[in-house]
Structure 1
Amino acid sequence: MKQKSMTALVSAFSRAYHSENNDIKIFNDSVARLLLSEQEYSQIEKSMAQGIQFFNPGFSGSDVDALRWIVDNQLSPSPLGRSAYAEQALRNAVNFGAKQYLIFAAGYDSFAYRQPGWASQLHIFELDHPLMSMEKQKRINSIYEKKPDNLTYLPVDLALTAIDEYLFDHTEFDRSKLSFCSLLGISYYLSKENFTNLIRGISNTVCTGSTIVFDYPDQDTYTGKAGERVKKQAMMAGNAGEAMLASYSNFDMEALLSNCGFLIHEHLEPKEITKQYFAEYNQANPQHIMSAFDNVNYCLAVKK
């Protein structure tokens, strides 16, 4: 794994761009811009604008217009929609007694540094590959004098480590407390076996009533039936050395979760995601309509 994840950088860029350029926001990440250097931000701006013909053949307009089109259509829908969904679900879980928030493959997630008052009683755990975790902490340390008291970094390679055994060894994690686990953007990059092992490991670790939230690619994602945006996203990830590996039908996912001790509480497909999380933004920005990403579903499941 590279020290810098290109998909994590582009995701942070898309969240930052959206927050800085819109009054009505699908998801407001006020910290994302701080996590990127001026050079990184400008390089991503430039490379994306120059790639407009890949994303939208025949496009005519300025580089500024090209960048806006790419961000709104290709880059932002996934990180904005799934983050909005996950943090709304987290707040609901806190209202029902969740005390621990585990962010798997945290990347440049910034929740701990913009946490609202209702999150103050949470113990937040950021789990990520040791190199990625170290690199993220270097960025954070250049911005903030100290980390929040309720945040713990846990370096771990999710593809190689049994998560239940790993968490059992960390006394900061309390198995008796309700936990909320975010696994955003993970299911694409793990094999089905590794993703199943991760879900099973979480199930073996958290107590009954704990929650997991994640997005996943449907069964048509890597076929000719996939949307054009998805095909381009897969190509981008592959070119960055972060190939997408798996996809699931609704039946597959329900069976996987049930076998691992989870029941689906909510399942959303793209049209419903757009309706719930993009409508207000689209009403305010009819010239820059955004829709949830093709072939990507959101799932909220509870430990039986």
Structure 2
Amino acid sequence: MQEGRPSRTAFGVAKRRATHQLLDQPPLVLDDPIAVPILGPQTEAGILAEREKHAHPFAIAMRAFMVARSRCAEDHLRAAIPSGVKQYVVLGAGLDTFAYRNPFPENELRVFEVDHPATQQWKRELLANAAIPIPATLTFVPVDFEKQTLTSGLADTSFDFQQPTFFSWLGVTPYLTLEAFRATIHAIARMPADSGVTFEYTVPVSMLNERERAAFDFIASRVEKVGEPFQLFFTPQEMDSELQSQGFQDIEELATPDINARYFAGRSDGLRLYGGPARLITAWLR
């Protein structure tokens, strides 16, 4: 992300979630009534005017992954609340909308959105323009990771470090350095038992087939042009080692076939993944 500017990839992700609401057939994988309003009527009109573009197999697969990863994180969050999780931290929140459709009362779940100050200011402006209220259950946590840590940012809020917490960390890790990735994983690993995290990571290009490599090259060139290049890759074995070394257990990894089976089986509209470099991980502290 360029200094002082909101994330352009965050807008692209939000636009794909909105496209899912507008163009894909029900049942929706991610039922999100905030996804369209937060982007405004001009973006909505643009999506509807470009139906053919959004029907391209590459666009469908990208959209499918964006909604599946959010659904995965939210499913794990809901399953964790009965075991005592009362805090949800959205790392690199971008235009994530869970906090504005949070079905749980304040005494059951508080949401903390962590992001760069410029991106959070942009989001606040979009929320105001769309007349979307900021709920009492939400706390914004502005963190410039070049200058402070996740722990110090949360410490400036009402966040309770003794309370089991679930973290979503979507659309972030491929853009990090290894040092930054390890620092964040270490901070999460210091949380109490029954805390967990869902995130995705990218496998090395050498693990991709020809079609997947072509898709990766296309995406990589686009994000590099907006100043947010991919730079961090793991094999599944390397990722498992990173997590286990920090004390994580019950590690669930979803590759393309697993994601399709869980979220897109039986659909008649063609919404599904077609392979790619990204894997979804959920890991727990026990």
TM-score, scaled to structure 2: 0.89
Residue 54 of structure 1 aligns with which residue?
Answer: none
Comparing 186-195 with 155-164, greater Cα deviation is found at: 155-164
Residue 152 of structure 1 aligns with which residue?
Answer: 139
Percent identical: 27
Q: Deviations over 1:204-258 (max 9, x none)?
A: 3x21220011011113379776433222111111122211111101111111112
CA contact (8 A) 1:125 1:153 kept: yes
Alignment of 1:274 with 2:277, yes or no, is no
Alignment of 1:217 with 2:202, yes or no, is yes
Cα-Cα RMSD: 2.4
CA contact (8 A) 1:200 1:261 kept: no
Measured after TM superposition, the shift of residue 259 of structure 1 is 2.2
CA contact (8 A) 2:143 2:149 kept: no
Question: 1:177, 1:267 → 2: CA distance?
Answer: 25
Question: 2:52, 2:131 → 1: CA distance?
Answer: 34
**Structure 1 residue aligned with 2:101, among 114, 131, 134?**
114
Residue 242 of structure 1 aligns with which residue?
Answer: 228
Residue 11 of structure 2 aligns with which residue?
Answer: 9
Residue 37 of structure 1 aligns with which residue?
Answer: 40
Comparing 239-248 with 288-297, greater Cα deviation is found at: 288-297
**Structure 2 residue aligned with 1:82, among 69, 83, 90?**
69
Query: Structure 1: which 5+ runs fail to align?
Result: 50-63
CA contact (8 A) 2:61 2:271 kept: no
Query: Structure 2: which 5+ runs fail to align?
Result: none
CA contact (8 A) 1:211 1:302 kept: yes
Alignment of 1:208 with 2:196, yes or no, is no
Question: 2:121, 2:90 → 1: CA distance?
Answer: 15
Comparing 21-30 with 88-97, greater Cα deviation is found at: 21-30
Give SS of 2:161's match.
coil
Question: 1:120, 1:144 → 2: CA distance?
Answer: 25
Question: 1:157, 1:45 → 2: CA distance?
Answer: 35
Residue 20 of structure 1 aligns with which residue?
Answer: 22
Alignment of 1:66 with 2:48, yes or no, is no
Residue 278 of structure 2 aligns with which residue?
Answer: 296
Question: 1:267, 1:182 → 2: CA distance?
Answer: 15
Residue 216 of structure 2 aligns with which residue?
Answer: 230
Comparing 152-161 with 10-19, greater Cα deviation is found at: 152-161
Question: 1:6, 1:242 → 2: CA distance?
Answer: 9
Q: Deviations over 1:157-205 (max 9, x none)?
A: 23542222332343x011121100000111111111111111112223x
Question: 2:215, 2:107 → 1: CA distance?
Answer: 38
Question: 2:200, 2:276 → 1: CA distance?
Answer: 12
CA contact (8 A) 1:82 1:184 kept: yes
CA contact (8 A) 1:6 1:240 kept: yes
**Structure 2 residue aligned with 1:182, among 168, 184, 208?**
168
Comparing 4-13 with 222-231, greater Cα deviation is found at: 222-231
